[in-house]
Amino acid sequence: MSTVASAGVRFHSGSQIIPAGAVHTTPLGYDRADIPVGAPLPAPASAELVDRLSTCDEIEVAFDGRLGDTLLALAAVRAVTDWLRLRSARVIVRAMGPYAGLIARAGLITQEPDATSTGRRAVIGDRIAVEARAPGAAVSLICDPAAPPCWASDGRSHPDLPTRYYLALERRLGIRLPGTAPFAPVLTTWQSGLVEQLRSAGWLNDLTIAAVTATSWPERKDYTAQRYIELAERIAEAQQTRVQLLLIGGRTTGDVHIAAESARRRVQVLRLDGVAADHLADLFPHVHLVVGNDTGLTHLAAMTRIGNGGGPPVIGLYARHSHSKWRTGLPHHHAAATRLSDRMHQGDLCPVRDAIAPDTDVHMDAIPPAALAQLCLNLLSGVKA
């Protein structure tokens, strides 16, 4: 459900179901619940895609663009592998490129990369990677986040990007696939030297909050370290406990830099800059809460879970972009959104793609730490917002 915090900031639960009539949608064309898995859809398949994909004995998964776009697009890879299993097809699925290690955690890959492979192949990935690898491929599937609409089916809308990808491919392949919401695959964790080092240094023992400061658009999406520290101070005061705050930064110089700052008002601060996403994937499930803007590392935190499916709640911060589209669709991935973000969600709009200039320039400072702290406290206390 959604609730309004102070200052007009609205909290949207990751488990919220949005009726089809509440937002701008495109009819899926069928009710999935009424069609058995493996049955043909009432809409025609893309014959050219199906014919070409049916001849392939290899699927090459390759993403070279942004981390967040890659993670949300893994639902498209899941759709293809689900289709292959329905056909009992013996096809090699391999991942290439900078995110191959993370993609392998999703359980979608059958074989390690092999540059010498000569099979008839299909390529699926973002435009940069597909165009580089398309020569010689039988068919290519480009995952463009601007392409799939917000579908409506069974009386509900399906706004998150992983669901859009999955259902778009289901329609093109012309067969009811077995997947059900949430469609984003979960990434498994491994034993981590980073976690062991932090524990041995006294971290991860108290209430631990990971705050993502990394962003590809700092002038618009940086919540700033100071606001996160104020957030942690407010949580510490409210719960009368000590908080350990991990400030997760991106790569600036290419080097890894981990340094503790002087403790302040019940809060210990540790900066982790330049840590590889693979290592952060193993760290995130060991904290109590993750807060971050709608960037790749925040999506990564939501998609990474330990073996029993456990892990922390994740709150994404949305000032300008749709809070529903740019989430994983997983029930523990929540949003704190401004009024502009809500309007982008309702109309399925993008301020960049659709060149929408707000009446006032909305940045992350539209989400005050005091309002965000109350949302975090509710989650930490198990209160349903």
Confirm whether 24 is domain-assigned: no
Do 194 and 171 reside in the same domain of the chain?
A: no
Confirm whether 86 is domain-assigned: yes
Residue whose pair of structure tokens reads 């259902």 in the numeric block = 167
Confirm whether 341 is domain-assigned: yes
Which candidate, 139, 113, 312, places its Cα nearest to that of 210? Answer: 312
Residue whose pair of structure tokens reads 């990971």 in the numeric block = 210
Note whether 103 and 88 are within 8 A (CB).
no
pLDDT computed for residue 385 by the predictor: 45
What's the domain range around 264?
2-15+188-380
DSSP annotation of 366: G
Look up the pTM and report it.
0.94
| Final residue before a domain boundary, out of 153, 185, 217 | 185
pLDDT computed for residue 127 by the predictor: 96
| Final residue before a domain boundary, out of 145, 161, 185 | 185
Confirm whether 198 is domain-assigned: yes
| Final residue before a domain boundary, out of 160, 185, 210 | 185
Hey, what amino acid is at 126? D
Confirm whether 385 is domain-assigned: no
Do 231 and 351 reside in the same domain of the chain?
A: yes
- CATH number of the domain to which 213 belongs: 3.40.50.2000
- CATH number of the domain to which 132 belongs: 3.40.50
Confirm whether 26 is domain-assigned: no
Do 38 and 66 reside in the same domain of the chain?
A: yes
Do 167 and 201 reside in the same domain of the chain?
A: no
The Cα 46–Cα 324 span in angstroms is 28
Confirm whether 73 is domain-assigned: yes
The number of distinct structural domains making up the chain is: 2
Confirm whether 209 is domain-assigned: yes
Q: Note down pLDDT in tens along the chain; length 385 residues.
A: 666 655 678 999 999 999 999 999 999 999 999 999 999 999 999 999 999 999 999 999 999 999 999 999 999 999 999 999 999 998 999 999 999 999 999 999 987 655 555 679 999 999 999 999 999 999 999 999 999 999 999 999 999 999 999 999 999 999 999 999 999 999 999 888 999 999 999 999 999 999 999 876 666 678 999 999 999 999 999 999 999 999 999 765 568 889 998 877 899 999 999 999 999 999 999 999 999 999 999 999 999 998 777 899 999 999 989 999 999 999 999 999 999 999 999 999 998 889 988 777 677 888 999 999 999 999 998 855 4
Do 225 and 134 reside in the same domain of the chain?
A: no
Do 331 and 202 reside in the same domain of the chain?
A: yes
Triad 355, 359, 364: Cα angle to 5°: 85
CB environment 76-89: b (16+ within 10 A), e (fewer): bbbbbbbbbeeeee
